[in-house]
Each structure stands twice: as structure tokens, then as C-alpha cells.
A and B are shown apart, each in its own frame.
Chain A
Amino acid sequence: MDTDLANFAVYYLQKKGATYAEARMESREEQGFILKNSNPEIAGFDETTGLGIRFILNHTMGFATTNELAKDKIRDVIDRSLILANKAVPLSETISFSDAKAVNDTLKVKQKINLLNLDPSEKLKILQDLDKHVKSADTRYFSISDTLLKKYYINSDGIKLYSEIPRVKLFYFLSLTQGTNSIQRWLQKGAVSGYECLKTWNLEEELPQELKALEKNMNEGISAPKGITDVICSSEVTGIAVHESAGHPYEADRIAGREAAQAGESFIKPSMIGERIGSDVVTVVDDPTLEGSYGFYLYDDEGIKARRKTMIEKGMIKEFMHDRSTSSQMKTESNGAARACIYDVEPLVRMSNTFMLPGEHHEEELIRGVKKGIYLKSFMEWNIDDKRYNQKYVGCEAYLIENGEITRPVKAPALEITTPALYSSIDAVSNKIELFAGNCGKGEPMQGIPVLMGGPTIRLRKVSIS
């Protein structure tokens, strides 16, 4: 990686009058494999390098990107971008950044089973071995991919960073059919790690159990009893809920309206900090610093040191996720939430690893406390409106709870609820948490970013199931 080209971009922009300049050079080595119904469909690899450049000129934000890595090409695309930015000045918002500490740091994540050392045939075999466990499913789709991302970042505020981050992702989709009955399930696993992460995923054991549960739900499941009832959500369902309705609405760029034309705004307003949004057992955080986590980073894509953010503390709205622009606008400091999914797009305010903190109860205690209710162990369909207020989670593996015990499988029970109602209805949370991988979409052009989401098992009192 020729980091001098990134240094040149910053130098050139300063010479051209930019009051702020940054350059992010990324080099990626990726491999990916697809196995469909036991057939090795295709495999691929990429080795790509490119440069993303951002600047402030006359209070206007500009961005330029190219993968043609020569000084004249970089100069050309910057010049084009400067012309456009200059033209936009009269209609432009005045962009300012909160302060940032100068830093020079290097981060290299260690791997036990190096991505580049594992033979492609071994990677394909990972999928083939998993496929053997679920042969009775009618259709089976598996993919696995790995990326070694080398990133060099420099800005005109004295920040210079270099990192090497390995990342592994596995996805599966299963479809079971029996006559007119059918059930489907997908799940993603992900980690910042070498291939040693496979052991912790334990899919050889989990997949056959899951298949058995899906078969039972398909063949023996009853229709969901409709009406007001208690609901137990497993870590997986807690995870998607906190991501959607306790993560996204706390992104400061949404709150400021900057995603209005794309992923939407937020029902949360700056004036709501300190207000109650849930019961006092609800604390939700976003923490990029968890070692090995899929959403891991120690500096964000503006060079700000990452830290845990607490969006909800004991039911009260506490903090938003910020980049340097939104924090300046809201007169606070950046808490290091700026992320770009690849060099050719700008950093946006993003989540990393978002989860509810655990409580003191065993999961069994939560279930024992339900006379009649529903246990949502996993989900398929979900969605939420663009203000993050009206959401729906539909169970995939789900059960009836009767007199404190899980009794029969239930087909597709739907929890459709507003955000305040959801977090206010939680009366107890379990003492163990689990995190699940996802790719979160935002921005235009769309950016998919690796995240984790999760939390404890939670108990919701008197909510509506349909």
C-alpha cells in the first residue's frame, strides 16, 4: 500500500485551500465461497486498493474517490470535486467538526488460523461439512467469506492510523417443506478474527438442533393464540429489537435529519435526553471495543478513539451516537461512531456492537414467571418504520408457555409494537447475553456495515401477539 499517495492527497487539498482534509487508503484481500444444495456454485477472490478523500472548503463538505492510484489521477478527481464543492458553496450547510486529539497509532488484529493461510479447498470444506448436518432440508444455501482489510488514515488535524483487520462471515438459509407446510430460516455469523472463530460458533452442534426444532414447528406447530399476553424474547430477538429501535433512533445524523431521504429520521429528539423510554431494567449500549466482535474497531473512520456509548441507562435516554459533524452541531464531543463500509464512500454515524446489558435472573426464572405466553426463540420477518417507532418481529422457532413451562411449538407469532411500549413492557432480563451478526444498511449510495446485536433473554408483560 502506497501510503504516500494518501499523504499527497491531504497535502494537495491543503495547498488548494481546504481547511480540513483527510485520506483513507484501503487494501482488501477477500475470498468467498457459495454452496447451494450441496453443489459448489462458485468461488471468488478480490484484491483491491482505493482511496477515499474528504475535505472542507469554504465550510462545504467535499468527497473524492478513485482506485486509479497515481498522483495525476488523484489530482484530477480532487480537482473535479473542488470545482463541484466551490459551486455548491452558496447553497451549502456550514460544516464544522468537533475537536479531535492528534494521534499516531497502529493496530494489527492477531489471527490463530490466518485467513490467507487456509487453503481455498479447506474453506469450501467448512460449508460442505455443515451441509452434511442438514441434508434433510429441502433447500440449503451456504456462503462463507473472509476479508483482510489494511487501512491507512491521515487527516490535517494530526491523526495518522494504520490497521489490519481480518473478518470472517458465514451465512446459511434453510427451507423445509412437508405437503403444504413449510418453514424457512436464515442466520449470519461474523467475527473479527482468523478462522479460529468457527470453533466458537459451534455450528456442527447448533445446526442439527435447529433443523430438528424447525421440523417440529412445521409439523406440530399450532397457530399463534391472538391477543394480549406475556412474551419472552431470546437474545436473538432482543438483539434485532435493540438494533432497530434502541440503536438506529439514537444515531445523531438521523436525529439531525441527515438520513431523511434514505433510511429516515428518528422519533427521538435532542430534547428527550433524560426522559424515560423504558423500564428501569433496560440499559442498551453500543460498544465497538469488544475484541473479536464483528463490529470491532478502536478508532473510527474520522480517527476518533472508540468507546462504549450508552443510549439507554436504566430506562432513561442518555446518549446519541456521533461523528465529528453531528457532535459539533449538538455541541458535544464525537464518541467515535463514524464508519464507512469501503474506501469509495463517506463515513456515516453507524452502530458497531449494540446490545442490552444483562440482569440477574436465570432464563428459566423468566419463563417460570409466565402463566400463559409466547417464547420467541428466533425470528424471520421483521421491520420498523422510518422513524423507528412502529416495529414487528415474527417468530420462526417459537413456543407456547403454559404455567411457567414451554409446552408446544407455535407457528409465526407476530409481535407488532411501538418502541415506548416495547421497552416499557420489559419487567425482567436474564443474566446471560448472546450477540448475533448482521449487516446494517444506511446511506445513499447504500453502505452495508458489519455489526453485532444482542442482549439477554427478556420478558415483556401484556403485549399484543397476532
Chain B
Amino acid sequence: MIEKVQRLLLEQGADDVIVSHVESSMNHLKFVNNKIVKTASETLSTIDIFVAKDKRLAFTTIKDPSEDKIKKIVDNVMGFIQKLEQNEGYNGIAKGPFTYPTIEEGYDKKIEDLDIVDMVQKGIMAAQEEGALRCSGVIDTSMEEMALTNSNGVDVMDKKSEAYYSIRALVNDDASGHMTASSCMATKLDVKGASQKAGKIASMAANPIDGKEGVYDIVFDPMAFGCLLTHIGDAASIFSVESGMSFLQGKLGNSLGNFSLLDNGIYPNGLASGKFDDEGRPTQTTKIIEKGILNTYLHNTSTALRYKVTPTSNAGIIAPKPNTLVLEGKKGKVFDIERGLYVTNVWYTRFQNYAKGDFSTIPRDGIFLIENGEITRPVKNIRISDNMLDIMKNISLFGKKPVQIKSWEVDIPCVLPEVLVKNVKVTKPHA
């Protein structure tokens, strides 16, 4: 079908065409206060079409692709594109054919057969065994088949499977813990481990005291730093840089701290791993920040040609985007600090100035005081009000075991251990 769409568009005078077709099915459960409150099943079929003609660019989606619909859309898109003006920065799409990588642990048919009701039940029990009184969350399983063709010789297919589990465990209104588990492989979805961790954090978080403002060394749980890392990943997109929405603007070649950040499109069992990006270029691993030095922004074919650099296989046709972000650096005993905080989760990260990196974010779920290397007591009602470049500069040590995080706030999968950041500014509200 996608070849037909492409042929029709080229016959009508298109210069560049990318057509992709995704067929997906999903099952979903939502549970609240230890009970399932919703079950859901979904079947969707979507065709995305990108067309360039005389540097005029148009994009459309067909979500109910009948034969009649396709013919009509092809006519419409070619009529629509005539009304547009030239994008002077456009330089074309990926030129194939390519050899594609094999994704390790990227697809497992057993995902669709997972007994998600049973998994939720066992997950709730595991959290309760750690002291949780009520648990809420979701579990999703999805299967996806995709095909992509472009007018420069790309014709490729891929399959993906994914299971995602999220649990927030509560002991009372002031004491909660949150953890997610996700995997492309059925046997590697660690529902029990995530539930135990959420339950344990919730139990430890009971009876918090009001936090005090000041400057703290903070150990971020992977879930918490993952939230911040997605913003670093977004800032690495050349689209963000050009739009004034990146604190990495003008920092190529600069030292940003003592860590490395990779974009990995082929990460084994990676939720965002796949053979190709949105224009059909083979995915790869890109060292965005290597030993602290900002090496590159994320590019598609067109933006890479604009800046005379090598494409990084991160299309987004217009806005290049990260695949899986992998953060790494010197490992050690992150909790071995004299006085600081352990932040297990954050949310609502917002910027005052994207270009400068001024932002704040709110610790959520268990927050703990660390004194002389020991977690001593839970705290509440604090906010991290800092600057993203300073946070990066002050990253000092990493925990030993990286995990893959995806969550409600972490929409770009991130692989990272605990992260110790020195001298983080903490504020609190006027009561």
C-alpha cells in the first residue's frame, strides 16, 4: 500500500516522498487503590506521508486507510503543497539503500500473551509486602509492525513489542513511592522488582518533616534524573537549538561536566530501539557528550547537510529527536556523602529561560535526608530551583547499576544509574 501512495505522489510531481505505515494493537489495564478500574483494547492503522516539492514541505496522516481515502489524500496533498512557500533550509531526505542493524531483544511475540491481570495482582501484592496500603498504576502491552519507503531507494520493515508497567504505592497521603518497569521481552518485565521498590520507598517516606531551603548534594534515583535527562536530550536536537529552546546552543566543543551522554538507537531491549529513523536511515549510537565535551547535536539528513555534518539518524523529519539516552560516568558510592538529599522522583519541570537553562522541578514521592552516608528521615514540600548547565557541571558520581526508565514524565527512554549532583539549589513555598 505504501509503495502505491509513493508512486501516486511521484507521478503527480513530488520531489521527495516518505511514506510509513504502522499497524498496532494494544491492551491496557488501569488500577487504582488496589482495584482495576479500566480495561482497554486498541487496534490502529496509520499511514504517515511526507512530501517535498520545490522545497515546499507537507505532512499528512491517514488513520483509516481505505483505497478511496488514499487516492483522495494524494490529490489533496499535492494541491495543498502548491499553496505553501519554500523552506529555504530544506536539503532532502536520506538516500538508500542501506544496510540495517539487527536489534537485539527488540521483538517478542509472547508480549501479547502476557496475563496482565495476573501481573497487576502480583505487583500489588509485592508492594503490599513492603508496607504499601494502596497501589495505583497501569500496565500496557503493545505490538507494532511498521513499513517505510522513501523516494531515495529506502524500503524497509520492522516489528516491535513493548510491555510497560507503572506503580505508585502509598502508605498515606504524604508517603508514596513510584517505579516503572518496561521491556520488549516478556520474560524481562520486572513487575515484582518495580512494585517492591515503590512499596519500599512509600514505607520509608512515612511521617516526613518539612524540608528546608538551601544548597544540597542530591542523589537522584534513575527515575528522578531521567526526568531531567529528557530535557537534556530535547535540548540536543538541532531543532531546539535553532528555535531558541536549547541551553546547549553555542556549546559545541565546550566542556559541560564529568560524564558522557549517548543517543543509542539500537540499545538491546530498548523501548525506542528500531532499525531505522523516520526517514529510513539506519539507527546508530551517537556520542552527544563524550567525557564532558559536547560533540554534536542530533540531526536528520536535511539539517546535517545544512550544517555540513554527518546525519545522526535522529529524524523527525522537521525536528530531530533522541532515541534512547544513555548517561554514564565515574562510578562510586553515591550515598557516601556527609549531608544531602535522596530524591526518588520529580515532576513538572518547567523553564524560565530555555536558552540559559533556568528551571525548577518538584520532587515527588519519597524524598529523604542523607546524613553521614545514611538515609535518616523523609522530608516534603521542597522544590529544586536551579540551572540545567550548573546541574550538568555538578554531576559528580554515578551508581553502579544502570536501568532503563520510561514513565509518565520520561517520554524518551533513558538508561542511567543513580546520579550524585553536588550543590543543588533547593527552595520551599511560603506557607
Contact with A along B61-82 (1 / 0, CB 8 A): 1111000010001001100100
Query: For chain A residues 26-67, which have a beta carbon within 8 Å of chain B?
Result: 34, 36-37, 39-50, 60-67
Among the 9-residue stretches B41-49, B183-191, B261-269, B392-400, the one with 4 or more Cβ atoms under 8 Å from chain A is: B41-49
Q: Are B39 and A392 in contact (CB under 8 A)?
A: no
**B134: which A residues are within 8 A, CB to CB?**
257, 260
Give A175 to B250 CA distance when docked, in angstroms. 15
Q: Are A68 and B360 in contact (CB under 8 A)?
A: no
Given known contacts A39-B87, A392-B360, A463-B430, A65 and B42 CB-to-CB distance under 8 angstroms: yes
**B245: which A residues are within 8 A, CB to CB?**
141, 173, 175
Query: For chain B residues 30-62, which have a beta carbon within 8 Å of chain A?
Result: 30-33, 35-46, 56-62
Query: For chain B residues 353-412, which have a beta carbon within 8 Å of chain A?
Result: 353-356, 358-362, 364, 381, 383, 385, 408
- The smallest C-beta distance from A140 to any residue of chain B, in angstroms, reads 8
**A47: which B residues are within 8 A, CB to CB?**
62, 69, 73, 76
Contact with B along A123-143 (1 / 0, CB 8 A): 010000000000000110100
Residue A408 interfacial (CB < 8 Å): no
Residue A187 interfacial (CB < 8 Å): no
- Choose among A261, A383, A466 the residue that contacts B348 (Cβ–Cβ < 8 A): A383
**B348: which A residues are within 8 A, CB to CB?**
383-385
- The smallest C-beta distance from A288 to any residue of chain B, in angstroms, reads 24
Residue A84 interfacial (CB < 8 Å): yes
**B99: which A residues are within 8 A, CB to CB?**
none
**A121: which B residues are within 8 A, CB to CB?**
83-85
- Choose among B41, B62, B117, B361 the residue that contacts A383 (Cβ–Cβ < 8 A): B361
Among the 9-residue stretches A75-83, A160-168, A193-201, A368-376, the one with 4 or more Cβ atoms under 8 Å from chain B is: A75-83
Q: Are B428 and A64 in contact (CB under 8 A)?
A: no
Q: Are A40 and B36 in contact (CB under 8 A)?
A: no
Given known contacts A139-B244, A173-B245, A414 and B385 CB-to-CB distance under 8 angstroms: yes
- Chain B residue, CB-CB nearest to A84: B39
Contact with B along A409-451 (1 / 0, CB 8 A): 0001010111011000000000000000000000010100000
- Chain A residue, CB-CB nearest to B31: A91
Q: Are A412 and B137 in contact (CB under 8 A)?
A: no
- Chain A residue, CB-CB nearest to B170: A260
**A36: which B residues are within 8 A, CB to CB?**
242-243
- Choose among A92, A120, A344, A387 the residue that contacts B36 (Cβ–Cβ < 8 A): A92
**B244: which A residues are within 8 A, CB to CB?**
138-139, 141, 173-175, 184
Given known contacts A61-B38, A390-B429, A41 and B178 CB-to-CB distance under 8 angstroms: no
| Chain B, interface residues (CB within 8 Å), range | 35 or more
Residue B27 interfacial (CB < 8 Å): yes
- Choose among B32, B58, B61 the residue that contacts A48 (Cβ–Cβ < 8 A): B61
Query: For chain A residues 72-127, which have a beta carbon within 8 Å of chain B?
Result: 73, 76-77, 80-81, 84-85, 87-88, 91-93, 95, 119-121, 124
**B84: which A residues are within 8 A, CB to CB?**
40, 43, 120-121, 124
Q: Are A261 and B37 in contact (CB under 8 A)?
A: no
Q: Are B80 and A43 in contact (CB under 8 A)?
A: yes
**A272: which B residues are within 8 A, CB to CB?**
none
Q: Are B430 and A418 in contact (CB under 8 A)?
A: yes
Query: For chain B residues 239-269, which have a beta carbon within 8 Å of chain A?
Result: 242-245
Residue B136 interfacial (CB < 8 Å): yes
Q: Are A42 and B58 in contact (CB under 8 A)?
A: yes
Contact with A along B204-240 (1 / 0, CB 8 A): 0000000000000000000000000000000000000
- Choose among B64, B85, B87, B88 the residue that contacts A69 (Cβ–Cβ < 8 A): B64
**B355: which A residues are within 8 A, CB to CB?**
175, 177, 182, 184
For B167, B178, B383, B427, the residue with the greatest tally of chain A CB atoms inside 10 Å of its CB is: B383
- The smallest C-beta distance from B80 to any residue of chain A, in angstroms, reads 6
Give A265 to B178 CA distance when docked, in angstroms. 14
- Choose among A64, A76, A139, A384 the residue that contacts B40 (Cβ–Cβ < 8 A): A64
Residue B138 interfacial (CB < 8 Å): yes
Interface residues of B (CB under 8 A from A): 27-33, 35-46, 56-64, 69, 73, 76-77, 80, 83-89, 115-117, 120-121, 134, 136-138, 166-168, 170, 173, 176, 178, 242-245, 317-318, 347-356, 358-362, 364, 381, 383, 385, 408, 427-431
6 examples of A-B residue contacts, CB within 8 angstroms: A36-B242, A93-B36, A260-B136, A392-B383, A412-B352, A421-B430
Having A81-B40, A91-B35, A392-B385, one finds 16 other A-B pairs with CB under 8 Å, namely: A41-B57, A66-B43, A80-B43, A91-B121, A93-B33, A141-B243, A260-B136, A344-B44, A346-B40, A380-B350, A385-B364, A387-B173, A392-B383, A394-B352, A421-B429, A466-B427
9 interchain residue pairs of minimum CB distance? A175-B244, A139-B244, A464-B430, A383-B348, A93-B35, A44-B59, A260-B136, A381-B352, A48-B63
